[in-house]
Amino acid sequence: MIRQEIAALVVEMLAPGKLATMYGDDFDTITWRDNATAPITKEQYEAGFEQYEILKAKQKADALEAKAAAQAKLEALGLTVQDLAALGL
């Protein structure tokens, strides 16, 4: 994902529900659509990129952990991933 796409996600993460327009990934180009004071600072925005990466890494780790747990449950039942694939699941 390119930084510009991540920038939009960072703004959404830090200011949920706020509508904004921005050009590229430059904080200074953000226009808050409700004409209110910016709900986040430039410093919060810049720090948000690291927070976003940490969040994505945690989500990925959680998904891998859930998959491993599901596979362990299948094995406890005597099933394999291939068994489920044969059933179309």
34 falls in which pLDDT band (50, 70, 90)? Answer: confident
Of 62, 59, 48, 65, the closest CA to residue 6 belongs to 48
Are the C-beta atoms of 39 and 18 separated by less than 8 Å?
yes
pLDDT at 4: 87
pLDDT of residue 17 exceeding 80: yes
The mean per-residue pLDDT over the stretch 18-38 comes to: 86
| Per-chain mean pLDDT for the chain | 90
Top pLDDT among 83 and 53 is at 53
- Count how many domains the chain has: 1
DSSP-derived letter for residue 21 is: E
Cα–Cα distance, 84 to 56 (Å, whole number)? 28
Domain that residue 9 falls in:
3-86
**pLDDT level of residue 48 (50, 70, 90 thresholds):** very high
Looking at residue 47, its amino acid is A
Contacts of 45 (CB under 8 A, 6+ apart): 10, 11, 14, 27, 30
